[in-house]
Amino acid sequence: MKRILVTGGAGFIGSHLCERLLREGNEVVCLDNYFTGNKQNIVTLLKHPYFELVRHDITNPYMAEVDEIYNLACPASPVHYQYNSIKTIKTSVMGAINTLGLAKRVKAKILQASTSEIYGDPEIHPQPESYWGNVNTIGPRSCYDEGKRCAETLFMDYHKQNGVDVKIIRIFNTYGPNMNPHDGRVVSNFIVQALKGEDITIFGKGTQTRSFQYVDDLVEGMIRMMNTPKGVTGPVNIGNQNEFTMLELANAILDLTGSSSKLCFKSLPKDDPKQRQPDISKAGEILNGWKPTVQLEDGLTKTIQYFEKVLMQKTLAF
């Protein structure tokens, strides 16, 4: 049994990771300040004898004896990370410093949940890990993009200077149950709007592309990355290589929900990437042949069922 710390453990991805780690027989310490995390995501885990929930802001140091650390703490959707941009970059940078300091003291392995956003609006397609990105350092998204880029730098410097066993993954667009209905991400937006019969908001002409991976595929990749030998640091892209336009995604959700919602087009936000697709060949080599296995239609069906329950619960509450 390993004792594992998951920062941001009550969030969308963190809650799935906590559940998987417990299922594999580990002791899990879940850290969250609930800025974007939700206790409802992990309420079913609270009775587990090896699950511990701690309310804590990772911009402040945290002390614990642990074997592994997954650093997921940071708002990840534009609506949330732009709400308090200074807080966002502090979470990325100070959170990295604090978790790396802990890993150094207790000699724990530590994984950084970085992001495809470090590539910015890419000029190379698909994006390999060797690509340095095309990022606006002073734009509306820079608090998140640059915070994550700085965190990667800190991880590699702690590895080179102090010998900390670090792992870096770059997460591409991920979806699934436990997403916040109001987080502003395209999958949750489209599904909620379709289920409510509201217009589906598409920014630009809807020709911009994203590659969507189901959360179970991501968690599998994260755990495999954590289990790589010391010295395998990454960064490694974790995402689904299948690319879809926003129009294709909207129409798929309309078909699966049977919704009569109409498409509504609005101006494209500043610095919004026009295309995003991971090169995952490195992940396949390093992570024992890892590749995403959940097809978009199957993943969307599960996610739609989750949001149907969430919306039904809110309706009954009133």
Tokens (6 digits) for 7: 């920062």
Residue 62: active-site member:
no
Catalytic residue (choose from 81, 144, 158, 175) = 144
Would you name the residues annotated as active-site residues?
144
